């Protein structure tokens, strides 16, 4: 076995899954990319500032944001929280 063969296989698999996702994505219309009103008002917190939201809430918001752009069989089967 040559060095890097497993990494190459992983890269090919990631490329194929990404191509499948792009072809099967059910989201076709353009989404609004403006920041949320809280972020636009300059109330963004710094990374050193403690977060007032529980991690589960932040994860749910991030997943919802991800699903606004990415809805395919690949996402349904291979991604998730």
Please report, for the chain, how many H helices and E strands are present, in that order.
4, 0
| Model pLDDT, residue 41 | 44
pLDDT attached to residue 38 = 47
What gap in Å lies between CA 35 and CA 30, rounded to an integer? 15
DSSP 16-50: HHHHHHHHH----SPPP-SPPHHHHTT-PPPTTSP
pLDDT tens over the chain, length 81 residues = 566 667 788 899 889 988 998 888 888 775 555 555 444 444 555 656 666 778 889 988 998 988 888 888 888 888 865
What is residue 37's predicted lDDT score, i.e. its pLDDT? 46
């Amino acid at each position: 076995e040559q060095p890097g063969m497993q990494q190459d296989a992983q890269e090919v698999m990631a490329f194929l899954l990404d191509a499948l996702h792009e072809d099967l994505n059910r989201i076709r219309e353009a989404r609004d990319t403006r920041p949320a009103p809280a972020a636009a008002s300059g109330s963004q917190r710094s990374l050193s500032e403690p977060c007032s939201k529980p991690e589960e809430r932040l994860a749910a918001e991030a997943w919802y944001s991800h699903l606004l752009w990415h809805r395919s069989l690949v996402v349904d089967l291979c991604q998730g929280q």
